[in-house]
Each structure stands twice: as C-alpha cells, then as structure tokens.
Structure 1
Amino acid sequence: MLINTIDLHSNMDLLSAVRGPERLCTDLIDQPEWIDRAMADARAVFPEVWNAVAKAGRMEERGW
C-alpha cells in the first residue's frame, strides 16, 4: 500500500527529466513543435500511468 503519491513527473517535469533542463530550454526555442508533440504524448499517457500506480498500490481500496 502506498501512503502518499509518488512523483510521476507530469507535463514539463517529465520532459525536463527526459531531456535535462538545459536541453529542454533550448528545445523550447529551437524546436517548439517537438515540445508540443511531446507534451501531447505526455498528457495522453499520464492517466494510464496514474491508474497503474493506483492499482499497484491498491489505492482503489483505501484511497490516497
């Protein structure tokens, strides 16, 4: 059972964890279309990740 939520690195935190903050900053300027696509992908997969963590931690039974 989980006693607290874990850091799931959502949205820009996720991209920063993958690319590194410095590279992400340059990507925002040099490749904004890449950021848009990556953010859309991150938002699309987040509910699946959240639900998998909740299920693994049996949080449906006890709540967060």
Structure 2
Amino acid sequence: MVLVLLGLLALVVGGCACVVWAQRGGPRWARVVAAATLGAGELLRASGKNRRRGLNESDGGGGE
C-alpha cells in the first residue's frame, strides 16, 4: 500500500513539474503531460462538486 501511495505521489509531483516546465516552453512531451495533469485535476474537481451536490440534495434541508 505504501508503494502505491509513493507511486501516486511521484506521478503528482512529476505532473506538476511538467506543468511548470510546459509554461516555460518545455518540449512537446512535457506539454502533453501537463495537459493530461490539468485535465485530471479538472475531472477530480468536477467529481468533488458533484459529490457535494448529491450530499446536499439528500439531506432534506431545503436550504434553497
């Protein structure tokens, strides 16, 4: 389990480094990795919003 988490951390750090490098005019592969990293971040952000929205609707609070 620890190895999986370390691998995931390495991917995240590498993706962030590619985003910075691509902004500074890095090679094409770095721009591709940066685009994939930013896309994955947007997907995670959208799934988090959908999850929270579902929790708010199911609580029956009627806060609207």
Q: Bin the TM-score by the shorter chain.
A: 0.3 to 0.5
Q: Identify which of structures 1 and 2 has the higher relative contact order when contacts are C-alpha pairs closer than 8 Å and 6+ apart.
A: 1
TM-score (norm 1): 0.44
Could you say which structure has the higher helix fraction? 2
Which protein has the larger Cα radius of gyration, Structure 1 or Structure 2? 2
